[in-house]
């Protein structure tokens, strides 16, 4: 008769382990059944919780796809920045580094900042005093 309780560290009861061993086709040797029982018990004590907490392969593929899309967009952004003139790059970086910047409004705010800079500098590019 098998014990129906699990040890404090074993998520499986002996009855559940016996059911798993019985479900393995061709496992009729008493020695092999005892060995498989011991392997399942040890596995449930050491690796089962970690195994069950892993992301499913479908979730891993989805996350990998999302990261690949993000990397692609980051490359496009880096390329766009590299194509800007140095002054424009500096203006964008300055705007992004300001506290409480709503990145959704960078476009209009950036244009407003350019207008203010032109006004301060004068339209001819020399600074007004």
Give the number of domains in the chain: 3
For residue 44, what are the domain limits? 14-53
Asked if the structure places residue 42 within a domain, the reply is yes
Q: Over the stretch 45-71, which tens digit does the pLDDT of each residue have?
A: 888 888 888 888 999 999 999 999 999
Q: What is the pLDDT of residue 10?
A: 56
Q: CA distances (Å), 24 to each of 37, 76, 98, in order?
A: 11, 53, 63
Q: Is 129 helix (H, G, I), strand (E, B) or coil?
A: coil
The confidence score (pLDDT) of residue 128 equals 47
Residues 6 or more apart whose CB falls under 8 angstroms from that of 27 comprise 21, 33, 36
Q: What pLDDT digit, counting tens, does each position of 26-39 carry?
A: 777 888 888 888 88
Is 124 a domain residue? yes
In this structure, is residue 35 part of a structural domain? yes
- Using the Cα atoms of residue 36, residue 41, residue 45 and residue 47 in order, give the sign of their dihedral: positive
Q: Mean pLDDT, the chain, as a whole number?
A: 77
How many Å apart are CA 96 and CA 73, to the nearest integer? 17
Q: Could you tell me if 91 and 121 lie in one domain? A: yes
Is residue 2 included in any domain, yes or no?
no
Task: Name residues whose C-beta falls within 8 Å of residue 98's C-beta, 6 or more positions apart in sequence.
Answer: none
pLDDT 10s digits, 93-115? 888 888 765 655 555 566 666 66
pLDDT beyond 70 at 92 = yes
**Cα 55 to Cα 61: distance, rounded to the nearest angstrom:** 10
Under a CB-based contact definition with an 8 Å cutoff, are residues 15 and 4 in contact? yes
Distance of CA 46 to CAs 10, 50, 68, 86, Å? 9, 8, 34, 57
DSSP secondary structure letter of residue 27: -
Q: pLDDT > 90: what percent of the chain?
A: 17
């Amino acid at each position: 008769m098998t014990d129906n309780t699990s040890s404090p560290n074993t998520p499986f009861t002996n009855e559940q382990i016996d059911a798993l061993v019985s479900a393995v086709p061709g496992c009729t040797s008493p020695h092999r059944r005892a060995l498989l029982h011991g392997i399942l018990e040890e596995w449930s004590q050491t690796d089962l919780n970690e195994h069950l907490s892993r992301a499913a392969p479908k979730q891993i593929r989805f996350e990998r796809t999302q990261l690949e899309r993000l990397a692609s967009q980051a490359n496009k952004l880096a390329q766009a920045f590299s194509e800007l003139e140095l002054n424009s790059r500096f203006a964008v970086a300055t705007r992004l580094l300001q506290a409480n910047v709503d990145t959704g409004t960078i476009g209009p705010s950036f244009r407003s900042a350019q207008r203010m800079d032109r006004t301060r500098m004068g339209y001819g590019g020399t600074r007004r005093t």
